[in-house]
Amino acid sequence: MPVNSFENYPMSWRPKLSRENTPLYLSIAAALEKDIAAGNLQPNDKLPPQRELADYLDVNLSTVTRAFKLCESKGLISGTIGKGTYVASDVSANLPMLSENKESNCINLGASHPLYQQNRYITQMLKKLPSRINIDNLLKYTDISGSELQKESACIWLHKLGIPAQSKNILITSGLQNSLTVILASLFRYGDKIATNSLTYPGIKNIANMLGIILIPIPYRNRKMDLKYLEQICKTENIKGIYVIPDSHNPTTVTMELNERIHLSSMIEKYALINIEDGTYTFLSEKPNLSLYELIPDHTIHICTLSNSLSAGLRISFLAAPLAFRESLLTGIRNINVMSSPIETELAAQLIQTGIAQRITSDKIPEIIKRNRITENLLAGNDLWGSQRSQFRWLILRNSINSHELEIYLRKKGVQVFCSERFLVGNSTLIPAIRLAVCSPDSHADLARGLQIINESLLSFAPASV
């Protein structure tokens, strides 16, 4: 049907295409991306049905389908069978979490940094390292999976956290982001679907978008992943994997209960999913919880990164992975990293072997508790999620407050926070909230001043203020 025939037809989006020297599906995708960037399409706007859009543009249905798949792989839109296709909820807040330029007059409660005071232990070990080992051996190409001593050290550390891994299951990577990149690039393909919480760590969103892997959001019900909805999605969508943070979930701080872990494990087994278990904040738990790796070791890749527990500059992670995935993951490490830094890996091993690693985490906990007590005192009366051992807190806002606008408003007031839109997956229902990185400010005084500004702003803030 010619375009002119649709002049009086109620369509939610009427793209203007450039059809010269460009495949039509790319023109449609470019028009959609341009209209989102210009604000002509807003988060959660519903797009026309693909067949109607194809008729309107006088193109084949497959052309529109291809364009939508491209935009979905970029995280711009999200479609659900039977509900239609929508502009992604987080599309206007998909900004860098770490900035190259740090303004000294802004209190950082946004990007979550670990405590830095314990870096003195790392410095001391670095000075002793040449007397403990042959440094020359660390300046050569080494086994990409690490030495036996390094893998045994990884097992010691993992066992303390309740992860019963053996050295044959250990692979060494260069931090959490690198681990996720290796796993997604090695075990998944363009267009594959991975389920995750509707609010999740933004790093995996960025990597999935880059690789064309689609994240399928699973909503919360009473602070728990809706496992009934997950099962429904597993039946209707071709889900290949799942990404979960069972302990101190980022950003909501929620820790999975035992019955939830057991139920989730049974579903992962039932649908043969690849389970990516992010243990970044497991070290904060008062006692080890039953891990998904222990429940379903043949399906689970557990990531234990040392950047938060030991030092941000120590870009080392331990992967505990099933032997069935080992060769694919080794190929991914070889292609992406060649190898992780032998010096950093050996430093981590020495910290663990000497007990200094345990001392670092033991020193961090009392300071984290102090900061959380300050937070709870200054934000008393608010709906504040998390415990006194949390590295960040999740502050639920009144329904009338737009969290993205509040983030911008607070930034002008000299405080950086991260709004809930940054963590949303696809077209998930927006929960008005902000994440507060209580360990990031340089001092208790800075933390208190930032929280006071937030509390005052919550009482006076209105969208028109921005």
| Helix, strand, coil share of the chain (percent; to 5) | 45, 15, 40
Q: How many CB atoms lie within 10 A of CB 413?
A: 15
Residue 4 pLDDT grade (very low, low, confident, very high; cuts 50, 70, 90): very low
Please report the pLDDT score of residue 100 as a whole number: 41
Work out the average pLDDT over 285-297: 96
Q: Across the chain, what does the average pLDDT equal?
A: 89
Please report the pLDDT score of residue 42 as a whole number: 77
Residue 397 falls in which region: left (phi positive, over 0), alpha (psi -120 to 50) or beta: beta
pLDDT in tens, 200-220: 999 999 999 999 999 999 998
C-beta of residue 18 within 8 angstroms of C-beta of residue 34: no
Domains of the chain with CATH codes:
3-87 (1.10.10.10), 107-112+362-465 (3.90.1150.10), 119-354 (3.40.640.10)
Rounded to whole angstroms, the Cα distance separating 139 from 161 reads: 31
C-beta of residue 158 within 8 angstroms of C-beta of residue 165: yes
Rounded to whole angstroms, the Cα distance separating 308 from 112 reads: 9
What predicted TM-score, i.e. pTM, was given to this entire model?
0.82
Give the H or E element holding residue 119.
helix 119-132
Q: What Å distances lie between residue 349 and 151, 159, 184, CA to CA?
A: 8, 14, 26
Predicted confidence (pLDDT) at residue 95 exceeds the cutoff of 70: no
Q: How many residues does the chain have?
A: 466
Rounded to whole angstroms, the Cα distance separating 369 from 70 reads: 45
* 399 phi, psi to nearest 5 deg: -60, -25
CA pseudo-torsion sign 36, 37, 38, 44:
positive
Predicted confidence (pLDDT) at residue 466 exceeds the cutoff of 80: no
Residue 10 pLDDT grade (very low, low, confident, very high; cuts 50, 70, 90): low
Residue 400 pLDDT grade (very low, low, confident, very high; cuts 50, 70, 90): confident
pLDDT in tens, 177-188: 999 999 999 999
What's the half-sphere exposure (Cβ side, CA atoms, 13 Å) at 245?
24
